Amino acid sequence: MKINRTIKILATLLLLIAACALQGQELSDLKNVKPFDISGSIGVTSSFYNVSGIPERQAPFAYGINANATLTVYGISMPFSFTWFNNNKKGNFSQPFNQFGISPTYKWLTVHLGYRNLSFSEFTLNGYTFLGAGVEAKPGKFRLGAVYGKFNQNSTFNLAMADSIPKMTRMGWAAKVGYGTDNRFVDLSVLRIGDDPKNFDPSKIKVGGGTPEQNIAFGLTSRFEIIPQLMFTFDGSYSFYTNDRTVAESDSIGDSMLKFAGNFITVNNTSAYFKAFKTGLNYRFTPTIVSGIEYRRIDPGFRSMGSYFFNNDVQHVTFNQTLGLLENKLNLRSSLGIQSDNLNGEKAHTAKRVIGSLSGSYNIDQNWGIDGSFSNFSTNQQAYRQSVTDTLRVFQVNRTISLSPRYMKATEKLSHMVMLNLNMSTLDDKNKHTADMTDTDTYMAMLMYNLGLPALRMNVSAGLNYTMMTNKHFENVLTGGNFNVSKTFLEDKLSLNWSNNVMSNTINDDSGLIINSALNAGYRFHPKHSLSLNFNVINNRFAEGATVPSYNEIRGDIGYVFTF
């Protein structure tokens, strides 16, 4: 009954938005509009792969088709995409991958069909790919949206396949109602998604399966100017989550919030709710001087089926500053704040971090410039109970410093670009019991040069690089260089790019040589037809008996694209 009611509500919202769209069409002007037009591209590709010395990292042969097009019918724009890829590994496993989606647009109305992803807020529906239908509409200052579809495809567990994950069919919907402009608006969003218990097999739990879950999340997103210089933002959500909807509903739940959620989803002894929000204030003194403060808090266990991942059990407050000085030649950005976890006090320890960063760029003149940055992140974990030993105490400081001077000069005949990048990163463990294992220093240096020859339609670049990562028990040193040449022929119809990289790799007492060479070619033999070829060879040489294996790897692909 609950599912039918919510579907009816969503269907009504979709019909109302569609009705508004029909009223907003200017049918009297259709005679002056081109009735039909289509543009886009369709391509086919085939890849090959061979390796010796290590296990295969991809299939020896694969092929696929992809298409992107925009269909316009009487002024209504309908972009769509299609992808199909077949990976036949060793002839005994085939996993076709295909997606199709279309999003026709007419004025302020957009309809989504097929595989699509939308975002209503960070904590409700936020970019999760679904298969279904959706609509977004902005008539006047109204901000409306709704989606319905499949968020997971049913699959079974296969012990012989390492990447096999059992899943249940996950269906759901989301909706958004708001009012305002891009700089001043209030949006209310709701999301309801759940696994279909009909596909639930308890025997799969022991081999990685899960129980059928259900989620409903309510969100509020707002942005408005308190005064022209002062901007306020807010994004928050309450998420109600049931970990096993096959458990019978309980009449003994006394929490009023869970009772409210019981009107929309199954609420039982596996149900709980969490909150997450972020808010900030930014004051713009001038177009190049802005100060701001942000507070962010996500409860332990917070999750939403409309988002892929949340770093939960964390809160932080940060102060942010941007500065443009010396007629905007000098630009600085800084941030300083405090971050902590254990928000509900259930952990044995609380980790506190000081987070800060400073970056900037200085354009000395039209040729010379320099970029730099510094960041400092410290973690101090404090125990609630005293212990006779502090071997488990975490007190670490991460520091990163980078500096990049650059020189660029361009004329009609040639262009030069020289850049030096220096980077130092340290992990300093203040706990003497663990420092020997975790203290790590990393040093990197890269020198790059690029020569452009417009008259010859040619580009040449070369570089040197050095990386050293070291701690008390480990040292890895990489030293090498690269050389690249690119040129076009036949009035830019044919383009060739040849890149080469040689790297000396030393890991403690093992040393080896890595050679990487790649050739890329593209030929547009007709304004609507083009071919591409990519070929890559890797030779990794280490002495026999070294912990790092030696191997030879070849991979490539051939493609054709038709543009219309």
Predicted confidence (pLDDT) per residue in 75-129, tens digit: 777 777 888 888 655 433 344 556 778 888 888 999 998 889 999 999 999 999 9
Question: Does the structure show a pLDDT above 50 at 360?
Answer: yes
Q: How far apart are CA 385 and CA 11, in angstroms?
A: 55
Angle in degrees, CA 379, 385, 386, rounded to 5: 90
Question: Does the structure show a pLDDT above 60 at 451?
Answer: yes
The pLDDT of residue 323: 96
The pLDDT of residue 20: 45
Q: How far apart are CA 44 and CA 559, in angstroms?
A: 6
The secondary element (H helix, E strand) that includes residue 335 is strand 330-340
Residues 6+ apart with CB under 8 A from 424: 400, 401, 402, 441, 442, 443, 444
Average pLDDT, the chain: 85
- DSSP H helical ranges for 262-413: none
pTM: 0.72
Angle in degrees, CA 475, 477, 482, rounded to 5: 165
Q: How far apart are CA 536 and CA 49, in angstroms?
A: 10
- 3-state SS class at 117: strand
- Band the pLDDT of 17: cuts 50, 70, 90: very low
Q: Which residue has the higher pLDDT, 182 or 496?
A: 496
Exposure string over 529-547, b if 16+ CB within 10 A, otherwise e: ebebebebebbbbbeeeee
User: Across the chain, which distance is largest between two alpha carbons, in Å?
Assistant: 86
Question: Does the structure show a pLDDT above 60 at 5?
Answer: no
The secondary element (H helix, E strand) that includes residue 258 is helix 256-261
Q: Please, which residues bridge with residue 217 across strands?
A: 191, 239
Question: How far is CA 490 from each of CA 451, 477, 494, 499, rounded to the nearest angstrom?
Answer: 21, 43, 6, 21
Specify the range with the lowest mean pLDDT, choosing from 374-383, 449-458, 497-506. Answer: 374-383
Tell me the mean pLDDT in the region 474-496: 95
Tell me the mean pLDDT in the region 265-272: 94
- 3-state SS class at 270: coil
Tell me the mean pLDDT in the region 212-237: 96
The pLDDT of residue 70: 86
Tell me the mean pLDDT in the region 409-432: 87
The pLDDT of residue 472: 79
Specify the range with the lowest mean pLDDT, choosing from 378-382, 512-516, 556-560. Answer: 378-382
Tell me the mean pLDDT in the region 224-246: 95
The pLDDT of residue 433: 59
Q: How far apart are CA 216 and CA 238, in angstroms?
A: 9
Amino acid at 232: F
The pLDDT of residue 386: 42
Q: How far apart are CA 365 and CA 355, in angstroms?
A: 33
The pLDDT of residue 157: 46
Tell me: the pLDDT tens digits for 314-356?
999 999 999 999 989 999 999 999 999 889 888 888 888 888 9
- Band the pLDDT of 164: cuts 50, 70, 90: very low
Question: How far is CA 63 from each of CA 60, 267, 409, 534, rounded to the nearest angstrom?
Answer: 11, 46, 44, 14
